Each structure stands twice: as C-alpha cells, then as structure tokens.
Amino acid sequence: METISLVRFIILAITSFFVTHAYGESMPLRTPYGETHQEAMLGLKAFKASITRRVSIALTPSSYSPSPTPSPLPSQDLKKPQVYLVTSYGADPTGNSDSTDALLAAMADAAKGPSEGFLMEDIKDLGGAQINLEGGKYIISQPLQLPLAGVGNLMIHGGTIRGSNNFPSDRHLIDMSTSEESKSYNYEYITLKDLLLDSNFRGGGIAIKNSLRINIDNCYITHFNTTGILVQGGHETYIRNTFLGQHITAGGDKNERSFSGTGISLQGNDNAVTDVVIFSAAIGIMITGQANIISGVHCYNKASGFGGTGIYLKLPGLTQTRIVNSYMDYTDIVAEDPVQLHISSSFFLGDANIVLKSVKGVVNGLNIVDNMFSGLNNGVDMVKLDQSDSAFTQIDQVFVARNVVKGMNLKATAAKLSMHGNGTSWTVDFSKVLLFPNLIKHVVYSLSANGNTFPNHALRNVSRNRVVIETDEAVSANVFVTVDQGSS
C-alpha cells in the first residue's frame, strides 16, 4: 500500500507542476483524484517526512546517545593590544618625505595609552601595545624617543627606518633614553623587532640606556659610523637573530681597511648576544660590563691583520664573561687582565686568535677549552700574550687545554712530554707549548730504567719552562713528565 501511495503522490506532484505552469494561478487546480493542488502538496510533504523518520530510525544504533551541545563562547570581547598604525599619523611609507613627527606622535600616543597596572616600580604596563610600521620605509631627521620614562610592554616592529642627510651624527635612530629622572629603570620589556635600520653614515642604530629586559630581535642594522647597538647601564638586554655591518658586504671588501665604528657596545651587566652576525665594523663587540654572554656570534668585521678586533673585553680585573659556540673569522678576541673569562666550543679561522693583554699583570679564573683554530701557517700562536705594558705576574686558575690547532702554534697551560736517553741527566723542554714563559707550578714525572739497575733520581730544575731530572748513575731510561702552569 505504501508503494501505491508513493506512486500516487509522485503522479500528483508531476501533474500539479504541469497544470500550474500551463494555466497559472488564476483558476483552482484539481488532481485526477478530485483533490485540490494544495491538498496534494500537503499530503506529499507529510509522506516525505514519514519516510525520513523511518530511515533515520533504521540507521540509528541502539546504543546511540546524542553528543552534548558545545558550551557557547564567552560573549564578552577578548582584549586585544592597542595597535598604532604609523600611516594613520601621516607617516610616508615610500620614504619620499620626512616621517619624524608622525612616528614620534605614534610613540607618544602609545606611551600615554591604556595601561594594565605596573611591571617594575614606576614602570607602567602598556599591555603589549604595538607601533606598527606596516612594512614601509620611513625617513627621519631626529632620533625616535618615547616622550616619557616609566613605560613597558611595548613593541615597535615591521619596517625600515633611515636617517636623513641631516640626521645628527652623534645620535641613534631609535634612542631608548630620557632626560627624566627615574627611581628604578627608564623602560622595561620594550621589543624592537623585524626592523631594518639604515643610519646613512649618520650616527648609530639603537641606544638602550638604563633599561630592563629589552629585546632586539631579527633586526638588520647598517651604515652606522658610531655604534650599531649601544647598551648603557641597565640590566638584561637581549640581542638575537640580528645582522650588523657598517658597510653591506659578504667579506673580502676592498675597502675593509677603512671600516670604523663598533657593531655592539655592552656597557652594562647581564646582557646576552645570541645568533648575531657582525659583517663590517672596526670592532665587532666591545664589552665593558660584567656577566655578559656571547653565543653563536659570527664576527667577520675588519680583519685583525688590518687593525680590527672581533670581540674586545675592556674591563680589566673583573671580566665575568662567557663566549661560546662562536665563529671568529679573521678577527681576534682581546681581553685585558681577564678575571673569570670562559671561551669554549668556538671556531677561529685565518690566524684569528685570543690575545691576553696585560694592564696590571693579572689573569685569574680563565678557561680556554675545546676550541678549533685554523691558521695560515704563519707561525701565529693560538693564544698570544700582549705584555707590552707590563708582564703577567698574578697568574692563577688558568686552564688552556683540549684545543684543536691546524696551521698555528698550539699553546696550553698543561702539557705532557716524554723522552728516552742514556746518561745521568734528562732535560724535557716545554717552552714551545706552555703559554706563560718561565712558569711551571706543578711537575709530575716518572722514570723507567732499562735493565736491572735501580738508580736514585730527582727533579733538579724547572726554570725557563724546562724540566731537568737527574740520576745518581748512568742508565738507559724513559722519562715521562706532566707540568701545569695554571693551578692554585
């Protein structure tokens, strides 16, 4: 019966369709079975609904339980950081006109914007506000400074800033300093990210002064004639994934001898420079603050043969610096009176070496271990002593060992040698290997005599880095000697 009803309603539907289109809606329609068109359509809809229910019931497992209805999302709007688009302040992203005032206006609004409480004392939390450069190129004639001290949690990102031809030659494009007095730090947690800074050989790139936890990330800083990045005072500025070069080159520049300026100057404590390339400057990194870490840095600025320096540690007496996993490419590391300095797991290419410069003759707590040196067979020492001003006289806890050297002179503070001889005296010469001249603090030796003799033997002398061992009778013997210059 259901099949007959289905056929009947299909015929009714087709008939109604043709009749409707043939005669329009001006006259009442009737089916072959005496029903009106409206009655037939209602019957068809009811039958369709019954079939749908039957199919749904047949396909539903007996153990089916409906899944719970998802709870609705909170109706309130999620807070988003304030974003300041510099073009809305009139900045010119083409670089054809000066954008100094527009960029400063955006920075002023950001600094005075809504806050989320405080970070350090007197540092207002701006809630992650962003000054968005929108991928543009902007010309400025004055440094970009926040109008007041005491703000934090702010980002400036995403564009190019170039100094104009009349930009002050002694300033930085972005200057995180202030003339206001602050009880603690000027700024905290400011992030400068994804920026290309072109100083146009007028001053420097970024200056961070008396600030806390500043991030400089993924920046390219070039054409400076003073300092690419200056960190003065403050605490914990992190510089990472950044490229710095006075001149844009990939090495072998014909004008390399004329390179000047400093890539990074760390004049504060507890900073970190990580995964950074310095490809042209007279000095790659100048460090005059304590407890800094340099990791994954590649310095191929002005070669030391031309008067350049890769990393200069100019804080004699209290260095407290770690240089690890870095690459000194024809550029030296120079350390004045190093005290607590660690250099390890780094690569030195092209006669690049480590120079210990005596100021007051102090070297204490120095580790130079597990590095690779690859030279040009010019007879250069992998570690060199610069005693032109004074000799090193206060030497303690110095460990130079486990380094791999090719094409340079190996130097160490601990060494082992052996020799065979026939007689009553054995002189073992360590002068070519030991770092400090005329200094042996500890000696351990053994003597193995051939034959059936049992000679008496003694250590007679350790001057000029030579160890002299004597026996009371002539014997054929092997002598094994270990010496150490650096232990307490």
Q: Average per-residue pLDDT in the chain?
A: 88
For residue 451, the model assigns a pLDDT of: 83
Distance CA 301, CA 323 (A): 17
Query: 230 falls in which pLDDT band (50, 70, 90)?
Result: very high
Q: What is the pLDDT of residues 103-155, one digit of tens each?
A: 999 999 999 999 888 899 889 999 999 999 999 999 999 999 999 999 999 99
Res. 17: pLDDT tops 50: no
- Give me the percent of the chain exceeding a pLDDT of 90: 78
The answer to whether the beta carbons of residues 126 and 119 sit under 8 Å apart is: no
pLDDT-derived band at 28 (thresholds 50, 70, 90) equals very low
Whether the Cβ atoms of residue 276 and residue 253 lie closer than 8 Å to each other: no
Q: Identify which has the larger pLDDT, 183 or 282.
A: 282
Containing H/E element for 477? strand 466-484
* CATH architecture of the domain formed by 83-329: 3 Solenoid (2.160)
Distance CA 294, CA 345 (A): 12
Q: Quick check: 43 pLDDT over 90?
A: no
Mean pLDDT of 252-269: 96
Q: How many CB atoms lie within 10 A of CB 179?
A: 6
Q: Which pLDDT score, from 0 to 100, does residue 184 have?
A: 81
> Amino acid identity, residue 360?
K
Work out the average pLDDT over 201-213: 97
Residue-level pLDDT at 452: 84
| Residue 3 confidence (pLDDT) | 47
Q: Would you tell me the crossing angle of helices 37-59 and 2-23 to the nearest 10 degrees?
A: 140
- H-helix segments, 90-154: 100-111
Identity at 239, one-letter amino acid code: I
Q: Does pLDDT of 21 surpass 80?
A: no
H-state helical runs in 75-226: 100-111
Backbone conformation region of residue 275, classed left if phi is above 0, alpha if psi is from -120 to 50, else beta: left
Residues 89, 131: Cα–Cα separation, whole Å: 11
pLDDT digits (tens, 9 = 90+) for 422-471: 999 999 999 999 999 999 999 999 999 988 888 999 999 999 999 999 99
Residue 13 pLDDT grade (very low, low, confident, very high; cuts 50, 70, 90): very low
The four Cα atoms 197, 202, 205, 206 give a dihedral, to 10 degrees, of -140
* Tens-digit pLDDT profile for residues 307-332: 999 999 999 999 999 999 999 999 99
Is residue 459 within 8 A of residue 479, CB to CB? The reply is: no
| 49 — pLDDT class (breaks 50, 70, 90) | low
Other CB atoms within a 10 A radius of the CB of residue 295 amount to 17
Tell me the pLDDT band of 35, cut-offs 50, 70 and 90: low
487 or 461: whose pLDDT is higher? 461
The model's confidence at residue 25, banded by pLDDT at 50, 70 and 90, is very low
What pLDDT is stored for residue 219 in this prediction? 98
What pLDDT is attached to residue 8?
52
**Distance from C-alpha of 154 to C-alpha of 175, rounded to nearest angstrom:** 14
The pLDDT assigned to 267 comes to: 97
Structure confidence at residue 66 (pLDDT): 47
Is residue 355's pLDDT more than 90?
yes
Residue 169 near residue 163 (C-beta atoms within 8 A): no
| Residue 287: pLDDT over 80 | yes
